[in-house]
Amino acid sequence: MPEIEIKDRDNRTIETVQIRDDVFGGKGKKGLLHQVVVNFLANQRQGTHSTKTKGLVSGGGRKPYRQKAAMPY
């Protein structure tokens, strides 16, 4: 069985652990790993975004002037 080293912050080996081939020996799936990373990063965002609704924006609903002014002759 393969072994991995468990290290602390100072990069010193604390212990060695044996891992099973039937669990960790398979091929990785890049697409699945990408989805996991994107999901993790999305969940780290604060989510403090907001948009103004119709009642919060300034101005009324009526057009204040005509789009084309009449040409004086």
Residue 22: which H helix or E strand, with range?
A: helix 21-24
The winner for highest mean pLDDT among 1-5, 38-42, 54-58, 62-66 is 38-42
User: What's the average model confidence in pLDDT over 49-58?
Assistant: 86
What is the reported pTM? Answer: 0.40
pLDDT of residue 53 exceeding 80, the answer is yes
Residues 6 or more apart from 16 whose CB is under 8 A from it? 3, 4, 5, 6
pLDDT confidence of residue 6: 95
Q: How do residues 2-48 score in pLDDT, each as one tens digit?
A: 899 999 999 999 999 999 988 888 888 999 999 999 999 999 988 88
What is residue 5's three-state secondary structure?
strand
Question: What are the sequence ranges of the domains in the chain?
Answer: 3-38
